[in-house]
């Protein structure tokens, strides 16, 4: 199990090809982001730049990606050499990023669920708020803080499984096992409940904090029938949060 992405950067990148990533994760996150045309955007915990590139390609004027992992940022920079999108990538801990630039929008796909405690979550949310312009927006997707992972169903048919131990309390690890053609790999993140997210985001200066379940795209409905998506949509392992500074 790891929260260090250096040794699994390339495998994580390939896990983005699983259909749920496209038809639920990317569809829901990009819909919540809306039209980024002309905006300055910071992608926190950008990984190898999956959403960083997508946001830039959809018209954002300035896009910066930040991640703790050298391995992930190396992959992101290699793709920047290939695609020449004008994205800056830097290695930094999201909790103490001191950006001179202030952004219209901060996006974070799977960052908040790396906090194990209220104080770590507060550091992340304070840092995000510092990077935003007044009235800027924050959009994030994470392990669903409203799902009891110890009793969650199997997601094996989507290409991954989750497991978590009891007691189900702040900081309990959630293990995600992704099954790729050449074998599985694991990542670990942590449970923090919905109320804690709301309290911490509010304390960081955010308002209109809203939690949303993920949605399925029409292409996803066409690709697989209702029975296939049922488990995921009835017990979503991921959830989105949006709020305003």
Ligand X SMILES: C[S@@+](CC[C@H](N)C(=O)[O-])C[C@H]1O[C@@H](n2cnc3c(N)ncnc32)[C@H](O)[C@@H]1O
Binding flag, residue 240, ligand X (CB under 6 A): no
Binding flag, residue 200, ligand X (CB under 6 A): no
CB of 63 to ligand X, least distance (A): 13
Q: Position of tokens 């709020």?
A: 243
Binders of ligand X among residues 29 to 48 (CB under 6 A) are 45-47
Report the C-alpha gap between 14 and 236 in whole angstroms.
21
Positions of E strands within 117-217: 132-143, 160-164, 173-180, 183-190, 207-212
Binding flag, residue 185, ligand X (CB under 6 A): no
DSSP state of 72: H
Binding flag, residue 20, ligand X (CB under 6 A): no
Report the C-alpha gap between 108 and 119 in whole angstroms.
18
Task: Tabulate helix, strand, coil % of the chain (nearest 5).
Answer: 40, 30, 30
Beta carbon nearer to ligand X, 32 or 109: 109
Q: How many Cα atoms occupy the beta-carbon half-sphere of 72 within 13 Å?
A: 24
Sort strands 62-67 and 40-44 into parallel, antiparallel or unpaired.
Answer: parallel
Number of residues that bind ligand X (CB under 6 A): 17
Binding flag, residue 110, ligand X (CB under 6 A): yes
Beta carbon nearer to ligand X, 40 or 189: 189
CB of 72 to ligand X, least distance (A): 4
Beta carbon nearer to ligand X, 67 or 104: 67
Beta carbon nearer to ligand X, 45 or 209: 45
Binding flag, residue 106, ligand X (CB under 6 A): no
Query: Of 84, 82, 97, nearest to 46 (Cα)?
Result: 97
Binding flag, residue 72, ligand X (CB under 6 A): yes
Instruction: Tell me how far CA of residue 83 lies from CA of 80, 117, 196, in angstroms.
Output: 5, 38, 39
Binding flag, residue 67, ligand X (CB under 6 A): yes
Q: Using CB under 6 A as the criterion, which residues of the chain lie in contact with ligand X when the complex forms?
A: 5, 45-47, 50-51, 67-69, 72, 93-95, 109-111, 114
């Amino acid at each position: 199990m790891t929260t260090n992405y250096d040794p699994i950067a390339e495998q994580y990148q390939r896990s983005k090809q699983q259909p749920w990533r496209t038809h639920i994760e990317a569809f829901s996150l990009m819909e919540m982001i809306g039209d980024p045309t002309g905006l300055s955007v910071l992608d926190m915990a950008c990984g190898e730049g999956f959403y960083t590139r997508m946001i830039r390609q959809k018209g954002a004027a300035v896009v910066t990606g930040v991640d703790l992992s050298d391995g992930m940022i190396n992959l992101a920079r290699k793709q920047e050499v290939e695609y020449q999108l004008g994205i800056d990538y830097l290695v930094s801990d999201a909790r103490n990023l001191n950006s001179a630039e202030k952004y219209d929008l901060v996006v974070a796909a799977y960052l908040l669920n790396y906090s194990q405690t209220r104080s770590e979550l507060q550091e992340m949310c304070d840092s995000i708020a510092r990077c935003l312009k007044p009235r800027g927006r924050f959009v994030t997707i994470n392990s669903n803080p409203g799902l009891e992972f110890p009793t969650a169903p199997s997601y094996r048919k989507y290409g991954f499984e989750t497991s978590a131990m009891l007691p189900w309390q702040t900081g309990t690890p959630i293990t995600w096992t992704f099954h790729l053609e050449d074998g599985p790999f694991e990542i670990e993140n942590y449970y923090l409940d919905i109320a804690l997210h709301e309290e911490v985001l509010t304390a960081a200066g955010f308002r209109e904090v809203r939690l949303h379940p993920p949605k399925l795209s029409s292409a996803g409905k066409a690709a697989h029938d209702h029975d296939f998506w049922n488990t995921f949509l009835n017990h979503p392992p991921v959830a989105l949060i949006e709020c305003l500074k």
